[in-house]
Amino acid sequence: MGHGAWQGVSVLHRWLLVVGLALITGVAAFVLVFAPGDRVAGTAVPYCTDLHLLFATDEDMRRVAGELRRDGRVREVREERTKAENHERLTAELRASGRDDLADAARPADTPATVRVVEAFGVDAEAFAEELRWQYRVTYADACEDPEEWEGTN
């Protein structure tokens, strides 16, 4: 905007324009600095639940993961891990914690394949987990209800 363009604009209008731009800049900066880092898009609450299904075979895990993707109660199916991937992860965590004896004793055949499920917005995750328990082995925790349980794990 050249100097001549400002001639027809009153001081009040200039002041309002500057204040408006400052507010927009401030809001944008606030969003960038304090953006929620651990939220699921479209939900009004933090990403709290940890709902895993455990399977005896990789094939069962993949089949059920596909079925759950079509389930309206499910927002997202994620962290599909085979028996081998979970065994490798388990033994690495055991060794890192100094429990080589348990890492050596862990057997791939006894390690389940897993899939993590994120419930859709408005779905009661605990009730959903209870319903899934009728068909599958399920682990469920809610960090919003018991934040100490998750402290340092996410």
The secondary element (H helix, E strand) that includes residue 114 is strand 113-119
- pLDDT tens across 80-134, in order? 999 999 899 988 998 899 988 988 888 888 899 999 998 888 888 889 999 999 9
pLDDT band at 62 (very low <50, low <70, confident <90, very high): very high
Amino acid occupying residue 82: T
Residue 134 has what pLDDT? 94
Residue 1 has what pLDDT? 52
**Where is pLDDT greater, at 49 or 40?**
49
pLDDT band at 38 (very low <50, low <70, confident <90, very high): very low
pLDDT band at 150 (very low <50, low <70, confident <90, very high): very low
| 144 Rama sector, left if φ>0, alpha if ψ -120 to 50, beta otherwise | alpha
pLDDT band at 10 (very low <50, low <70, confident <90, very high): confident
- What's the half-sphere exposure (Cβ side, CA atoms, 13 Å) at 106? 20
Which pTM does this prediction carry?
Answer: 0.62
**Where is pLDDT greater, at 19 or 101?**
101
Buried residues in 61-97 as b, exposed as e (16+ CB within 10 A): beebbeebeebebbbebeeebbbeebbeebbeebeee
With the C-alpha atoms ordered 138, 110, 62, 95, is the resulting torsion angle positive or negative?
Answer: positive
| Token pair recorded at residue 77 | 């199916």
Residue 103 has what pLDDT? 84
**Where is pLDDT greater, at 11 or 59?**
59
The secondary element (H helix, E strand) that includes residue 23 is helix 11-33
Cβ 46 vs Cβ 39: under 8 Å: yes
